Chains A and B, each alone.
Chain A
Amino acid sequence: MQQTISAAIDIGGTFTDTALSIPGRTDLITAKNPTTPQDPTLGALEGLKAALTQADKQAEELQRFIHGTTLATNALIERRGAETAVITTEGFRDILEIAYERRYSQYDIMLQKPDLIVPRSRCFTVKERLNVHGEILTPLEQSSIDAVIKQIDASGVQALAICLLHAYANPAHEQQLRTAILKRRPDLYISLSSEVSPEAREFERLCTTVANAYLQPLMVEYLTRFELEFKQLGLNCPILMMTSSAGMTTLDTARKFPIRLVESGPSGGAVMAAKVASQSQLNKVLSFDMGGTTAKLCLINDYTPKTARNFEVNRAARFIKGSGMPVRIPVVEMIEIGAGGGSYAGIDRLNRIIIGPESAGSEPGPAGFDRGGTIATVTDSDISLGYIDPTLFAEKRLTLDQGKARKAVEETIGQKLALDTDKAAYGISQIVDENMASAGRMHAVESGVDISIQTMIAFGGNGPLHATRVARRCGINKIVIPPNPGVGSAVGFLDAPVSFEIIRSQYSLLNSLDIDSINQLLEQMLIQAREVVSCGAPNAELVSNCSAFMRYHGQGHEIEIPLNGEQLVAEDLGELLEKFETEYAFQYSRIVPNMEIEILNWAVKVTTQESVSEPLSAVNQRQNTNSAETRSIICDSTSEPVSASIYHRSNLKVGDSFTGPALVVEPQTTTLVSSDYQAHIDTALNIIMTKKEQ
């Protein structure tokens, strides 16, 4: 728990979650209220007031305040950003149009490419050219600046993305251009590729710059208003913003780089899981966050969520890779599939059960919600199988109609495949669980890890319900369900460090590396990152990590190798080689002797030093618990009816042990303890499920 009074607010698409941590209290105070899409700040104010009232505290007493929002993600998906224009180097007007020259779906001849926000009519060019080393081949021509300003005026845009070739190696032309334009048009929001994403690969760099420029007017306005409203409520500590990379940043940085605010909710969930992993000393974890529309899986190695430098905004249906807009920002790497409680079930023409990606959302919701839905969803299958208590759902705000759920399952699947309702519901479960497990296995393969030795940490409204079923299909034998699994992201915000990460390209071959020039580069990057972090955490102790992205000459994938310190010395090179080979051998079984090694990118990450979690004390004594309350459910491994014990999570104490089949009920979710699992409660009140010995 934090040593300060801290509040976290996560504004999601449907709900706004608030979590409040008070020193001296072991539990968190949480609130969940509907998001107010017209003015999200209102819902956030409501949530905080409700939590403060419960805790009997005032806004003035808050010492830490963290905010995450889906606003940036949604603005990109729903295309609610500003009119934006692009300026690139002469001869390269079509970086967006040409993109990867590729169709994301092999057999789909009717496919439409992702909409990359800026049409060709608003893509302008200026005469200038740098080479790969950042040396000027053609100086930036004044007359072309004048011409481009006229084009910008005529286009009526509010925001501008500037991305000149090789600007990552030398930002001078981009900066000159910005200065010249701002002199004439001080009202424009301008994003430079050399600041937003200084990495080689012009297409992704431009996309990232476009997305940033597109979001900036909207997010600046939103953040400014949010800050004002909360100040008026009495908040007098700074507001920190949750980013996509499991860290927080200041409002000022958020205004400058709003693109880094996308996917902050899921990244909060990963922080929460990492914290649980660290307390429980679990160094290989797969987090499993299943909500209403999607499931997200993330690998957490040594208490650190796996990060990536790529993210795709707004993938087309079925979450196909390559069907979205690529942005290069530091993100927690997750695999996301269209499988949630609300995902629709159906039958394809091969008579196969298919699940999602379309979802019933909150309106009409699953058929069992009795709000007019008639198509079976995953939740309807779970209700039909008896896993969800109709009277104890969603803090009793909603009584489920088991009859309607069963009817939907029968009509959507049962009749068409000549299966009785239980078997049809079981079929839906088998397929959706296999889909999620398959996504997890694929993610593990792509990351070079063995999924079966991971521990699963499950949360989200449906994660605890499907955890054993997905784990079994991945060969995973141990599952942790943390407390407050329904508001995992907001809980995660409370534990996130203030951090900032910068990645820059400077191409070098390992055996002819110019150490001085790399050291200069690293130093500049560190200064910049420290400045950002210090603003958000003025007196905190900072930690920095530098790394190199290395690959064999000509290979497509780089491997991130940590550096020893902040500066390279000659002796480090041998060690870099050694670390690269070790990591390469680990991921691909063997190294390639005598192959030249190249380094494309350098990264620095500065973060506040977080107190190391105390390992949990062991459970001194386990006591077998029993429950008088039982319900008949369909066993998820044999498909036969069995009697499951019902436990209420709030009544479970440290050391309580029980065996499946059982259901653990709490306000926002239910944990299914399958018949081949046993469970106990650890000293942090996590539910620990382990596979029974066969």
Chain B
Amino acid sequence: MTLNQTDLQVMWDRLLGVVEEQGQALIRAAFSPIVRECGDISAGIFNLQGEMLAQAVTGTPGHINTMAEAVKILITHFPVEQMKPGEIYMTNDPWIASGHLNDFLLLQPAFLDGRVVGFTSCTSHLFDLGGKGMGPDGTDIYDEGLFVPPCKLLENSEVNQLLLDIIKVNSREPIANEGDIYALIACCETGVAQLLTMMREFNLNNLDDLSRHIIETSRQATIESIQELPQGTYNYVLPVDGYESEIELHAKMTISDQDIQVDFSGTSGCSKYGINVPLNYATAYSVFALRCLIGSDIPNNAGSLAPFKVTGPKGCILNSQHPSPVAMRHTLGQMTPDLMFGCLHQAIPERVPAEGASCMYDVPLRHAPEVTRNGGKPFGIELTHNGGTGARPGLDGLSATAFPSGVWGSQVEISESVTPIIIKRRELIADSGGAGEFRGGLGQRLKLTPATDDAFVVFLSLERMKYPALGRQGGHQGATGKITMCSGKTIPGKGEFRVNPGETMIVETPGGGGIGDPSARSEAAIISDLENALITPESAKSIYDYSV
């Protein structure tokens, strides 16, 4: 490293700062609750070749890789030499942007002295695009709302008003959509301005040296991390609930001294409903899981992502093709980390967590149709809750905590203030964490009921109601998730369901799996679990052979 390289480090740090600033600004201005609660956005800076140099670390892993690849595709639609200042390009093509129509990706070229020197890009989740909305019940992409192919959103610094009008008129939430698109534009523009400020401050007229430094340093360090792993091929099959039928997710992971290749061959075909996953999105969650264990300290960029290669046969549910419905692609996308961990566990058993609840327990609900027909006030909310994570090597799992997503749980007082519902209970479920030397995290139980005479409808797309989170090395599985009515009736995990006044819906989120034989659990940990009522005296006796 020469002094020149400290300069390069400062500039790299600056780029990382810029994308974080962009990300924060976008989150603050967003309307979609999912963006605010989960940070479901992305912001990145790219070089002239479309290689990603820096990406904001945001709340959901669904944008890792997707953005890096999307920009490369977009610049084939809009060749660099034809780009003009004042242009911004946009698409929500799920197979380019981020796996479903709600995610819009914008790309803006940065012009320095009349030449394109790089790009900024950002993605955000728009609230509603018409169609069947955010639910799994669409049967093809046309059911799921408005599809915007790669297009110029801005030309000569003017927004294409017709395009914006089309997006608004096709949405149940036109104002929020418009607000979110303007937030994306502002985010791109800020990024470009800051990139240019930096280039002027450091007297750069291109990003070549800086790109090479960032990408090469990151790639090399990532390869070194991969070289610490035992080479070989590892297979794993993860059965999941699916919608109309159960599904198998297959992965073959090959660790070589230069890269890690993942192949989804053998994975079940697509569903009739919107739980199918485009490959870019399945890749995002898979690579996220790998990077949690391999070189997690290296920032995301073209270099650190390059050694991870994910493929799958076209038409399998993790590589669904147009026009498959994909609205709820995160349901299975969030299961892919457990698929990756299943492979990695064979290579590095001492570093891999047990399976967890993984799929977030998202309960979008809105007023029943007759409420507005009868002149009542419309309402809607997306409650986000989670089950337990798998036990970690040497540590218990985390109870009621999101992984792999980064969503925030909804707070009861806020949910009740913005929607006419009452949440009667929100408590951990004793014994729901898989037993083991290290216990899985616990799931939680929520009880929901209408607060007024207005019924509400929920739209579910949940997992781990049939297949629990498995433990490792003798650790037990976590409890499955469950949706029931106070009457005792069980509700399926996917599809639409109605809750009438006087009825109470009970949501139980899954627990995480344990690690190690329960007999190896320390007495102190068992006593603490008993004192804190995380396990019952009965299971202390039957599983841990411990009596009070």
The yes or no answer to B544 lying at the interface (CB within 8 A) is no
Q: In the bound complex, what is the Cα–Cα distance between A391 and B275 (angstroms)?
A: 71
B413 in the interface (beta carbon within 8 A): yes
The contact string, 1 if C-beta is below 8 Å from chain B, for chain A 90-103, is 01111001111111
Interchain CB contact (< 8 A) of A112 among B20, B183, B395, B408:
B395
Size range of the interface on A? 35 or more
B456 within 8 A of A: no
Residues on B with C-beta less than 8 A from A103 are 398, 401-403, 406
Set B57, B221, B444: member contacting A106, Cβ < 8 A: B57
- Residues A202 and B402 in contact in the complex (CB < 8 Å), given A98-B444, A431-B10: no
Contact between A92 and B426, CB atoms less than 8 A apart: yes
- Complexed CA–CA distance, A639 and B399 (Å): 52
* Interface-side segment among A331-339, A481-489, A589-597: A589-597
B240 lies within 8 A of chain A by Cβ? no
A101 contacts B57, C-beta separation under 8 Å: no
Give 1 or 0 for each of A189-229: 1 = CB within 8 Å of chain B CB. 00000000000111100000000000000000000000000
Q: Does B6 contact A (CB under 8 A)?
A: yes
- Is there a chain A Cβ closer than 8 Å to B234's Cβ? no
Question: Which 10 residue pairs are nearest across A and B when measured between Cβ atoms?
Answer: A101-B409, A91-B425, A556-B36, A120-B532, A417-B1, A438-B17, A107-B296, A427-B6, A121-B531, A445-B21
B503 within 8 A of A: no
A507 CB within 8 Å of chain B: yes
Q: Is A109 an interface residue (CB 8 A)?
A: yes
Q: Residues of B contacting A121 with CB < 8 Å?
A: 531-533
Q: How far is the CB of B508 from chain A (nearest CB, A)?
A: 14
CB proximity to A under 8 Å, residues B171-208: 175-176, 178-179, 182-183, 186, 190, 197
Give chain A residues whose Cβ lies under 8 Å from the Cβ of B175: 592-595
A103-B426 Cα distance, complex, nearest whole Å = 19
A107 lies within 8 A of B291 (CB): yes
B42 beta carbon closer than 8 Å to chain A? no
Given contacts A102-B401, A106-B406, contact A165 B179 (CB under 8 A): no
Of the A-B pairs whose beta carbons lie under 8 Å apart in the complex, a sample of 18, sorted by A's number, is: A94-B428, A98-B426, A98-B444, A102-B402, A107-B57, A107-B288, A113-B398, A119-B532, A131-B422, A202-B413, A418-B1, A419-B1, A426-B3, A438-B17, A441-B17, A442-B21, A554-B418, A592-B176
Query: Once the chains bind, are A445 and B353 in contact (CB under 8 Å)?
Result: no
Q: Given B3, B36, B407, which contacts A102 in the complex, CB threshold below 8 Å?
A: B407
A348 neighbours in B (Cβ, 8 Å): 297
- Which residues in window 614-657 of A have CB below 8 A to B? 639
A166 in contact (CB, < 8 A): yes
Picked from A97, A419, A588, the residue with its CB within 8 Å of the CB of B28 is: A588
Q: Do B9 and A94 touch across chains, with their CB atoms under 8 A apart?
A: no
Q: In the complex, A475 Cα to B418 Cα: how many Å?
A: 43
The chain B residue with its CB closest to the CB of A352 is B9
Q: Chain A residues with Cβ under 8 A from B10's Cβ?
A: 430-431, 434
Name B400's contact: one of A97, A112, A426 (CB within 8 Å): A97
Contact between chains at B6 and A353 (CB < 8 Å): yes
Asked if B28 and A557 sit within 8 Å, CB to CB, the answer is yes
Q: How far is A354 from B217 in the complex, measured between Cα atoms in Å?
A: 16
**Smallest CB separation, B362 vs chain A (Å):** 12
Interface digits, A338-373 against B, CB 8 Å rule (1 contact, 0 not)?
Answer: 000000000011111100000000000000000000
Tell me the complex Cα distance, A202–B190, Å: 36
Interface string of B433-465 (1 = CB under 8 A from A): 000000000001001000100000000000000
B428 and A97 within 8 A (CB): yes
| A275 CB → nearest B CB, Å | 30
The answer to the question of B314 belonging to the interface, with a C-beta cut-off of 8 Å to chain A, is: no
Which residues of the other chain, B, contact A431 by a CB distance below 8 angstroms? 6, 9-10, 13
Query: How far does the alpha carbon of A120 sit from the alpha carbon of B534 in the complex, in Å?
Result: 9
In the complex, the chain B residue whose C-beta lies closest to that of A120 is B532
Q: Is A552 an interface residue (CB 8 A)?
A: yes
Closest beta carbon of chain A to B124's beta carbon, Å: 13
Cβ-defined contact, B400 with A351, below 8 A: no
Check A590 against B182 for contact (C-beta < 8 Å).
yes
Q: 0/1 per residue, A416-437, Cβ < 8 Å to B?
A: 0111000100110011001100
Of A165, A438, A441, A555, the contact of B412 (CB 8 Å cutoff): A165
Measured in the bound complex, the distance between the Cα atoms of B416 and A201 in whole Å is 10
Q: B residues 9-61 with Cβ under 8 Å of A?
A: 9-10, 12-14, 17, 20-21, 24-25, 28-31, 33, 36-37, 57-59, 61
A132 touches which of B297, B398, B417 (Cβ 8 Å): B417
Task: Determine which residue in A119, A131, A132 has the highest number of CB atoms from chain B within 10 A of its CB, and name it.
Answer: A132
B3 touches A98 (CB 8 A): no
* Shortest beta-carbon distance from B155 to chain A in Å: 19
Which residues of chain A have C-beta atoms less than 8 A from B398's C-beta? 103, 113
Chain B nearest CB: distance from A141 CB in Å? 15
B411 beta carbon closer than 8 Å to chain A: yes
Identify 14 new A-B residue pairs, CB closer than 8 A, beyond the known A418-B1, A434-B14: A91-B426, A91-B447, A92-B412, A98-B426, A101-B408, A102-B409, A165-B412, A165-B413, A430-B10, A434-B10, A441-B21, A442-B24, A445-B190, A592-B176
Given the complex of chains A and B, what is the CA–CA distance between A136 and B430 in angstroms? 30
Whether A102 contacts B425 by the Cβ 8 Å rule is: no
Known: A101-B385, A426-B3. A120 touches B533 (CB 8 A): yes
Docked Cα-Cα span, A113 to B1, in Å, equals: 37
CB distance from B502 to the nearest CB of A (A): 14
State whether the Cβ of A108 lies closer than 8 Å to any Cβ in chain B.
Answer: yes
A569 to B210, CA, bound (A): 59
